[in-house]
Amino acid sequence: MTYITLKDNSKYYFDKTKVMGIVNVTPDSFYSGSRNESINAAVNKALKMIEDGADILDIGGESTRPGSDPVTLQEEINRVVPVIESIRKSNTNILISVDTYRAKTAEAAIKAGADIINDISAMMFDEDMHRVIKNYNVPIILMHTKGTPKNMQMNPHYDDVIGELISYFRERIEFSRKMGISIDKLIIDPGVGFAKLYEHNIELIKKIGIFHELELPILLAVSRKTSIGMALGNLPPEERLEGTLAVSCYAAMQNIEMVRVHDVLENKRALTMMEVLK
């Protein structure tokens, strides 16, 4: 059974597929149903997700959808920190992840009560990120991408998408080790939808179990993404729930440790049923 070691040195075990709820403090996320333009709206969404059975909350203050523009560091901090602080006042136990590639945002979030950093760049966009992870003793999610959200979908090419991602993660794991970050602090995310075409994304989902060879917890973040819409006949994000549930159930069959989703209640129920049937 895989696990991560949290900042208080307790172990968090992935005894089943965990549900990570997406809480966007943004006005421009790709799925309109996940946009929260105020702190109160984001906090209420987070508390409802906890009630619905979320195991982890992932708080984000900047959209990283294809073609998106970055926000300023201060704007990102102003969006995520009050949300984390408010959640912590209501619930001291829920795991909170922060979706950021900026070391200063990560540090502010950890001080506010965050437990995990979810970095789409796997510590490559900000050279200080590894120091924050090491100094605050927190786990980090290492995602695969190429380029930046602004340009990542401009003709991404792979000769062997699975092989290239395995090599990428091995390099990132070795980098983490050299920086003094222990293996029990790492989670990997293949980055479905990031610098990948439809066929790359589908292959990654179908073969997600291959990444178990890295012996790290795996996060699969596919909720309502374009690949699901394309597979279902070019449906918009608002009509991709059923496709998302199918992927979450498939992830459970492959013993994937976490799924990152917009719809906590529906995914939690589907995964609970999968556990009964396994």
Sheet holding 116-119, edge to edge: 186-189, 140-143, 116-119, 95-99, 56-60, 18-24, 258-261, 219-220
For 268, phi then psi, to 5°, come to -65, -45
For 260, phi then psi, to 5°, come to -105, 120
Residues marked active site are found at 225, 260
Residue type for position 70: P
